[in-house]
């Protein structure tokens, strides 16, 4: 079946602008995760959804970052007043139940803030 998809694959924006990044998880997966990967580093956890609710948002760096998953499927990561330091690859992953289930990663969205 289809894997995790993310759109757009690349996003270039100017400092101070608002961006939305979309994630389509594998059908039927209840758990969805967002991570951020800076160049040369491992992915860093941002937020985890179980169904529609954010079960753990401890990784969001500040209140400019927000994510939703209104119907328990597609999720959108929203970044307000972007800063150059937000430039990174944003990864989405889903798993069937969460916890130690295998997480399947999407290809990522490369965000560049000029």
Partner 1 sequence: GNSVTQMEGPVTLSEEAFLTINCTYTATGYPSLFWYVQYPGEGLQLLLKATKADDKGSNKGFEATYRKETTSFHLEKGSVQVSDSAVYFCALSDGQGGKLIFGQGTELSVKP
How far is residue 89's CA from residue 112's CA, in Å, rounded to a whole number? Answer: 9
Which residue, 75 or 95, is less far from partner 1 as judged by CB?
95
| CB of 87 vs partner 1, minimal distance in Å | 18
Which residue, 9 or 80, is less far from partner 1 as judged by CB?
9
Touching partner 1, residues 14-43 (CB under 8 A): 31, 33, 35, 40-43
Q: Give the number of residues in contact with partner 1, rule: CB under 8 A.
A: 29
How far is residue 47's CA from residue 56's CA, in Å, rounded to a whole number? Answer: 6
CB neighbours of residue 63 within 10 Å = 7
Supply 36's token pair: 């951020």
| Locus of tokens 């529609």 | 52
Q: Is 105 in the site for partner 1 (CB under 8 A)?
A: yes
Beta-carbon contacts of 62 under 8 Å, excluding residues fewer than 6 positions away, are none
Positions that interact with partner 1 (CB under 8 A): 4, 31, 33, 35, 40-45, 48, 50, 55-56, 59, 91, 93, 95, 98-108
């Amino acid at each position: 079946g289809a894997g995790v998809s993310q759109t757009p694959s690349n996003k270039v924006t100017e400092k101070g602008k608002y961006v939305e990044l979309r994630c389509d998880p594998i059908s039927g997966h209840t758990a969805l995760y967002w991570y951020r990967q800076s160049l040369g580093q491992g992915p860093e956890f941002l937020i985890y959804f179980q169904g529609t609710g954010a079960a753990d948002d401890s990784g969001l760096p500040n209140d400019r970052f927000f994510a939703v998953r209104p119907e328990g499927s597609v999720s959108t990561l929203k970044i307000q007043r972007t800063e150059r330091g937000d430039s990174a690859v944003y990864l989405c992953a889903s798993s069937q139940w969460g916890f130690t289930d295998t997480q399947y990663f999407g290809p990522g969205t490369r965000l560049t803030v000029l």
